[in-house]
Structure 1
Amino acid sequence: MFPDPRIVVSTAEESLPLAIRELELDFGPEAKVEAIGPEMAVVTAPSLSAQEVADRCEAAPLVFPRHLTVEVALLDADADLDRIAAAALAAVREAALPPSLALQVWVSGPSSYEFGPAAVFGAIAAELDAAGYAVARSGRRHVLSCCLTPRGILLGLNETRDSLSDWPGGGVRLSKSRDQISRAEFKLEEALTEFGLDLPAGGNALDLGAAPGGWTRILRRRGLRVWAVDPGDLDERLARDGQIKHLKVTAGRFLHSNRTVFDVAVNDMRMDPKLSCELMVRVAAHLAPGALAVVTLKTGSREVLATVKACLEILTGPYEILHARQLRHNRHEITVVARRTDAPAD
């Protein structure tokens, strides 16, 4: 056991320095933040809890951490499966967890292990099952994490509500469907899944920068009527859908003439992130109170934290920021989920 709780933070490899800087700025000098792998950092401070870190990630928001666990053991890299399974069972028993829990295993960085996550999962699950524990992959109150890292096998335990994500290391895995139009669909699918967003059935949705129609397809699949705004063409498979209205105009021209009130608005346009947020402020005047808005901010790689802060400040007022995070399917992007407030937009 360690003298102070060690909160392990997972992030995208290219964003690890940004995640560390966010944590340092938010928790101040009494907290020590250090990298422990290509995608992981550890935060330590007296009496610091995973719940406190998770709450700060959501409230601040801190956008680059995407998974948390509390380190309870670190085994040597030469540990075999039997030793890993025995250590996992000992950690669960010491924590006096209920007899049903989730087990999540993943690899961080290059791996030289003779076994992979599937073999580790099987060994730990068998050990726990023999001891009377019911093991699932997700959806339980507590989660046992096992990460194969270059420095050793890390075991972590915490409540799922404080993990930020119910996926191993925050790595949401989505499968391509037969009718998928573009890989950009994964970004919206992940946001809906990761944040547990409830979209209204039968309402009106606005998709800005819709072409070729991936996000429009997802919104239609959820039962929404979609106004797809983009000068470009939509996939021909969407042309026969009478609940999709394709307007081949710019977003600015559409908002100037539109009189429809929308229940959902999404924006995955490739544009300067501050301009994108200013556009979403204009969109707010066309949304019903309480309507959801999802926008991806193309932050680039320079002055990222300052850009994200400025963007969220622009959105605050007409919107309440619900979530802001770099998801697994983002690339130099941040997904922001906001709710239209009752206050009129400027």
Structure 2
Amino acid sequence: MPTSIFSTSEEYLPAARRELTDVWGKRAAVERLGPDVGALTLPDATLRDVSELCRTRPVSFVKHLTAEIARVPVDEARDLDAVTRRALAALPEDLPSGPLAVQAWVSGQNPAEYGSAQLFRGLADALEKQGFEVVRSGAPAVLSACITRSGVLLGIGNPTDSLSDWPGGRVRLSRGPDTISRAEFKLEEAIKVFGLGLPRSGVAADLGASPGGWTRILRTHGLKVWAVDPGDIDPRLLADPGVHHARTTAGNFFASNQTRFDVVVNDMKMDPRLTCDTMLTAAQRLRPGGTAVVTLKLAHGNVVEVVHKCLARLRKKYEILHARQLHHNRHEVTVVARLR
């Protein structure tokens, strides 16, 4: 039966299992293969079928998918050449034309004497000898290789069905000279992974903006920004005429400010139910079809139920486009929505 290998966060793998079994019921067999990697086996369900439901249901705690083509047991996997031979033999014959991306990563304890970089290079060298053009991303097909304690998992997919065009969904972003805070990476990742098209002009509200990381990202996309926070904003942003600092709470801001916004973002540290209430208030100031990006902060307990209740609450005003725990989220889920 078809098996999809999925990646998640180690702490939230039980939540991913719960979501997957909620969707497919007793038809689904979910197996843990590593600290943050599992396998979903379903009769007559292709990777595309699984990916489509993960996006539309949505399944919030699965970050990355690939269709399993081989498992190399640990004794054999210690020999890198053996892994590359198994990978070449397992490649489907109907690969789309064009370059082939190779993505390698490690889940948990590594029993091999090589790491993800060496695994990538070994696979790339072997494929190039067979005439393939090998890249790291942006290809119509992706060969995934994950090293686990029990061996190497091999899978094939494409960027759309994989949910993320990064190894295991682990998006890597680095600080630049203009970076204000690491919180910026969450918004940057959402833009990259979801293909989020922000308007090239217009007005945005950044709720809980301090010190201004998300405001800076919005400004790089050409939006004028109201940075709403009682706390301080980075002086570089205050010198920008396209940034207005409202030193107040979100509730007071919307009670006194009549501006119509094209985008509202919210990364405030508060109970997710209160976050949803704030976003329902914000909906009154969004233009029709306006975009909302919000992070739901998760505590211990039934996080699946919390997320589903929050999404149901947001649906009173919004169409949910995406809801997923991203690599740069810790104990939170990023939601992208559009005003109904």
TM-score range, shorter chain: over 0.9
The amino acid across from 2:11 in the alignment is: E
Q: Which has the larger displacement, 26-35 or 89-98?
A: 89-98
Counterpart-to-counterpart distance in 2, 1:98 and 1:73 = 22
**Counterpart pick for 1:32 among 29, 32, 52:** 29
The amino acid across from 1:270 in the alignment is: K
5+ residue gaps, structure 1, are 342-346
Residue of structure 1 equivalent to 2:17: 20
Which SS does the other structure have where 2:101 is aligned?
Answer: strand
Asked if the contact 2:95–2:141 (Cα under 8 Å) also holds between the matched residues in 1, the reply is: no
Residue of structure 2 equivalent to 1:82: 81
5+ residue gaps, structure 2, are none
CA 1:151–1:111 in 2, change beyond 3 Å: closer, same or farther?
same
CA deviation vs aligned residue, 1:229-261 (integer Å, no higher than 9, x gap):
111110112121111000101110110111111
Residue of structure 2 equivalent to 1:283: 282
**Counterpart pick for 1:69 among 66, 69, 88:** 66
Q: Which has the larger displacement, 108-117 or 280-289?
A: 108-117
> Is the counterpart of residue 324 in structure 1 residue 323 in structure 2?
yes
Counterpart-to-counterpart distance in 1, 2:159 and 2:200 = 28
Counterpart-to-counterpart distance in 1, 2:219 and 2:91 = 44
Normalised to the residue count of structure 1, the TM-score between the two structures is: 0.95
Counterpart-to-counterpart distance in 1, 2:318 and 2:328 = 24
Residue of structure 1 equivalent to 2:304: 305
Normalised to the residue count of structure 2, the TM-score between the two structures is: 0.97
Counterpart-to-counterpart distance in 2, 1:73 and 1:306 = 34
Which SS does the other structure have where 2:179 is aligned?
Answer: coil
> Is the counterpart of residue 274 in structure 1 residue 267 in structure 2?
no
CA deviation vs aligned residue, 1:144-178 (integer Å, no higher than 9, x gap):
10111111011111232211111100101101111
The amino acid across from 2:71 in the alignment is: L
CA 1:95–1:153 in 2, change beyond 3 Å: closer, same or farther?
farther
CA deviation vs aligned residue, 1:272-323 (integer Å, no higher than 9, x gap):
1011111101101101111110000012121211111111011103111000
Q: How many residues are paired up?
A: 338
What's the CA shift for 1:96? 4.6
Counterpart-to-counterpart distance in 2, 1:238 and 1:247 = 13
| C-alpha RMSD of matched pairs (Å) | 1.2
What's the CA shift for 1:112? 2.9
CA 1:96–1:62 in 2, change beyond 3 Å: closer, same or farther?
closer
The amino acid across from 2:220 in the alignment is: R
The amino acid across from 2:157 in the alignment is: N
CA deviation vs aligned residue, 1:28-58 (integer Å, no higher than 9, x gap):
1111112111111111121121111111111
Asked if the contact 1:301–1:332 (Cα under 8 Å) also holds between the matched residues in 2, the reply is: no
Which SS does the other structure have where 1:288 is aligned?
Answer: strand
Instruction: Give the fraction of aligned pairs with identical amino acids, expressed as a percent.
Output: 53
The amino acid across from 1:160 in the alignment is: P
Counterpart-to-counterpart distance in 2, 1:12 and 1:56 = 19
Which SS does the other structure have where 1:29 is aligned?
Answer: helix
Counterpart-to-counterpart distance in 1, 2:130 and 2:98 = 9
What's the CA shift for 1:71? 1.1
Counterpart-to-counterpart distance in 1, 2:178 and 2:98 = 40
Counterpart-to-counterpart distance in 2, 1:245 and 1:282 = 20
> Is the counterpart of residue 44 in structure 1 residue 41 in structure 2?
yes
